[in-house]
Structure 1
């Protein structure tokens, strides 16, 4: 980055500020003034992006968006806020979320729910990856899922519901997690392309019920899932879930550890399963012998 390039970007920004703050003359209108200022802010923002000055780029795009709003250019304003969010993602997640929420407002008002869902999913990912706000990430995944479902993008909706379910389980909101896993599983059963994944969702639901300490509900759920697809009883996922339930019923930490070890030798446990199994094991240790 040369000093000249940096100076040029700030000069353009200053020109945009002056244009936006100028009074209108006899032969121009406020709308024209803000259109021209918006164009200048956009040019400055793009220069800042090239210079990797992302906070400045985001601020300039945000000012562009405000100018577009004053001209009632809603589509252009929405796009400017989205450009601002992409710049703010480089180190300023809170500002990125605010910019995305502005974009989403415009998209929803315009009935563009599929695009609104895409942006809401971005919000969820920022909450999850940058600010570690699991509840807000979960809420955004659910909202995106509903919008995708309304636009008949069912596969994408189910991915959002699955992500929300995982987060509910992480926060020990087990009943909601189970409901979401079952919702995704029910839809997956309707297609040969997705039917193979049902056993994974049901396993997660059964582990959530076990983590709640509600073993009666867990066993009833297992039978319900078999009634929906009788091949489930022959899967490693079903046998693993039942073995976990039996070890918890017996209050036997050693048997529980053995079950997990045997399963992990063939199917490596992912981070989610490892975390919930640790919660289940803690429950055994705190309240041994449930039968």
Structure 2
């Protein structure tokens, strides 16, 4: 006796049979694909209940194929998204690919806000699961562009900031500085985000120092001080200026002291620690400086 099929396997077998069936006198191809799609969706949900996430994602992908063939792009986009959510359980590359299919359909439908949400998800997958910072940057920047187009500028600005952080990690300092400046410029005009401007300017200045470009760092400090007369009095500005002066003098001891003093009050995050290490190497390649 053949082993009994699980509910998911039964639905999958029915779906494949319906998908491959011929169209009769009293049915249409649209009906066939709709019915097959429903069965693939049933199989996908049952696989998810069984915690068979790869199989669930595959079944959702087959559902999406049926929806596309039946001319139902909205349902197809949703099926691809469901596939991505299943694939996220251990299959990041497949999840990113499924989200890419979702994005393509959403842009065809003119739903750019939703496309931006899914593109941001792609960036998060490449950042946290795929370990591909360049692809994460590209996804965040694309999401930012669509958010801006849909007048969701705060969310778009947040994506730019995330992209800037990653660009600095990739040593693409000029691009990072440009994005930090754009985010800061937007934030200056918002009462909700104006407080964050000093942090963005600090990060831009640190990028200039990490690029061993003290001239640009000095120019940016002056520009920021003119844009906001309160900036020079902030801890961020004083910290940046102290680092800049230490770099200009080639004074490793002063550099180390400024870093230590800042860290005592405002704990350095991982991003700043990495950038400061890169700046340190530009002064002198001395282990243990930080």
Give the alignment's TM-score, normalised by structure 2.
0.96
Counterpart of 2:213? 214
2:228 is the alignment partner of 1:229: yes
Question: 2: CA distance between counterparts of 1:19 and 1:191?
Answer: 56
Aligned-residue offset at 1:248: 1.1
Give the alignment's TM-score, normalised by structure 1.
0.95
Question: 1: CA distance between counterparts of 2:246 and 2:220?
Answer: 17
Counterpart of 1:273? 272
Q: Which residues of structure 2 form unaligned runs of 5+?
A: none
Counterpart of 2:191? 192
Counterpart of 2:46? 47
Paired positions, count: 284
2:58 is the alignment partner of 1:59: yes
Offset from partner CA, 1:8-27 (integer Å, 9 cap, x none):
21011011101101112221
Q: Which runs of 4+ in 1 moved over 4 A?
A: none
Question: 2: CA distance between counterparts of 1:50 and 1:231?
Answer: 57
Counterpart of 1:85? 84
Aligned-residue offset at 1:40: 0.4
Counterpart of 1:251? 250
Question: 2: CA distance between counterparts of 1:235 and 1:26?
Answer: 78
Q: What's the secondary structure of 2:268's corresponding residue? A: coil
Question: 2: CA distance between counterparts of 1:69 and 1:270?
Answer: 46
2:147 is the alignment partner of 1:148: yes
Write out aligned runs for 1:82-161 (5 A).
82-161=81-160
Offset from partner CA, 1:22-74 (integer Å, 9 cap, x none):
11222112221111100000011111111111101000000000011111011
Offset from partner CA, 1:235-257 (integer Å, 9 cap, x none):
01001001111111121222211
2:262 is the alignment partner of 1:263: yes
Aligned-residue offset at 1:286: 4.5
Offset from partner CA, 1:76-121 (integer Å, 9 cap, x none):
1111001000001111111111110110011101111100000000
Offset from partner CA, 1:209-245 (integer Å, 9 cap, x none):
0111111111111000011000001001001001111
